[in-house]
Amino acid sequence: MLDTAAEAHKANTPSQITLARRRLGLTAFDPSASAGGFTVFARQTGGGVVDMVDIEGRTTHQWHMPVRPGRDAVILPNGNLGYNGSHDTSAALYPAWDLWHGGDFYEATPAGEIVWRHEDIFHHHDAQWLSNGNLLYTVAAELPAHLAKRVTGGDPRKDGADGTVQSDIVREVDRSGATVWEWKIWDHIDPADLPVHPIFDRRHWPMINGVSETTDGLVLMSLRTTSGVIAVDKATGRIVWHAGPDVVAQQHTPIRMEGGTILVFDNGNMRPGSSNPFSRALEFDPSTMEITWSYTDPNAPSFFSPFMGSAQRLWNGNTLICESAFGRLFEVTPEGLTVWEYVIPEFAEYPAPLNRFIGGSHNTCFRAHRYTAEQVAWL
């Protein structure tokens, strides 16, 4: 006999996911102030699903990609999807490597047909699809032994038994997969000059978690475990400027604005002088390191993503922010007013072996991108 009382109790049991008990989907919208458009994101726990939602929070398109996201998904100038997938057989470099590697890149049509693929099992974190069709991304590579000994800070108790330290190479490949540009960070920075923050292990220095190329030939790189953003002259390899932990804290996704300022998602972990972490969207002038604009929540700790995150300046001057850890995408005006907010309503667990490091169910995404109707004219 069916125990209907037990079934009713199960149906009425509150979700044990704190975020799922709050409002999900579209939670705020001011049509008179929002830039409008379509928002694309790849759920970290959604298998290979990439979602596009309209300004009213309705799902207008989905892609179902062959592998789960390594990080990001973008709309390319030709209308296709550029997808940073997680390689099934990525290099096993250290215990936490599976948390942030990608390495299986795809270009897919709106109908889901795969028209290009590139694999690199040493890729991790971010990538940028360049206007010439090339792909710019970061790979891990073993730091020469004499330089590995110069890595300071962090938690030495977590060092690998063999003393191996991974470092970073920024690489550009063409459509045939051939490397056309490469830059090794250890050729330009002494590890002793950029100590790893406390708590972090020292198996990966300095962990470049974000890359972007500017129109005037610079490559911006975000240094996660040391808190910093550097700009590299692509032609010479020279570091033009460095914004350190006095400007940013565990930041992601640096992007150069038209006027020369730099927009980043400033996570806020271990920010000097702050006992209560909070995140912010931050814009600074690299010639003076002065902050020219920032957004924090009126109740600062209410906006905080300890990992991942992005900020995008929109065509009307607003900024789209992705509070990655909690699947919250929102748009603010230059004055800091929230005019659109969408919370990803789908929750799932990270697959093995990631669930050894991140337990529970999540609605996370690495980054979100907003597009005009003209950029997705195929809809």
Q: Give the 3-state secondary structure of residue 236.
A: coil
Q: So what's the pLDDT on residue 112? A: 97
Task: Give 269's contacts (C-beta < 8 A, 6+ positions apart).
Answer: 197, 249, 250, 277, 306
**Residue 102 structure tokens:** 């990608």
Q: How many alpha carbons fall within 13 Å on the CB side of residue 75?
A: 25
Task: Give 201's contacts (C-beta < 8 A, 6+ positions apart).
Answer: 96, 154, 155, 158, 159
What's the DSSP call for residue 153? Answer: B
Q: Using alpha carbons, list the distances in angstroms from residue 136 to 95, 187, 222.
A: 25, 19, 14
- Tens-of-pLDDT digits for all 379 residues of the chain? 344 444 444 567 888 888 888 899 999 999 999 999 999 999 999 999 999 999 999 999 999 999 999 999 999 999 999 999 999 999 999 988 999 999 999 999 999 999 999 999 999 999 999 999 999 999 999 999 999 999 999 988 888 888 899 999 999 999 999 999 999 999 999 999 999 998 888 999 999 999 999 999 999 999 999 999 999 999 999 999 999 999 999 999 999 999 999 999 999 998 988 888 999 999 999 999 999 999 999 999 999 999 999 999 999 999 999 999 999 999 999 999 999 999 999 999 999 888 988 999 999 999 999 999 999 999 9
Q: Give the 3-state secondary structure of residue 172.
A: strand
Task: Tell the residue number behind the tokens 């972090």, with chain if given.
Answer: 200
Q: Give the 3-state secondary structure of residue 38.
A: strand
Radius of gyration of the chain (CA): 21
Task: Tell the residue number behind the tokens 């490091």, with chain if given.
Answer: 357
Q: Using alpha carbons, list the distances in angstroms from residue 378 to 45, 112, 170, 180.
A: 27, 13, 33, 32
- First-last CA distance in the chain: 50
C-alpha to C-alpha distance for 195 and 217, rounded to whole angstroms: 28
Phi, psi torsion values for 221, nearest 5 degrees:
-135, 130
pTM over 0.85: yes
Q: Report domain extents, the chain.
A: 35-121+306-330+343-379, 140-304
For residue 229, what are the β-bridge partners?
222, 243
Our CA dihedral for 376, 377, 378, 379, rounded to 10 degrees, sits at 70
What's the DSSP call for residue 225? Answer: T
- CATH code of domain 140-304: 2.40.128.630
Closest CA to 125 of 190, 180, 44: 44
Spatial contact of 172 and 180, defined as CB atoms under 8 Å apart: yes
Q: So what's the pLDDT on residue 108? A: 98
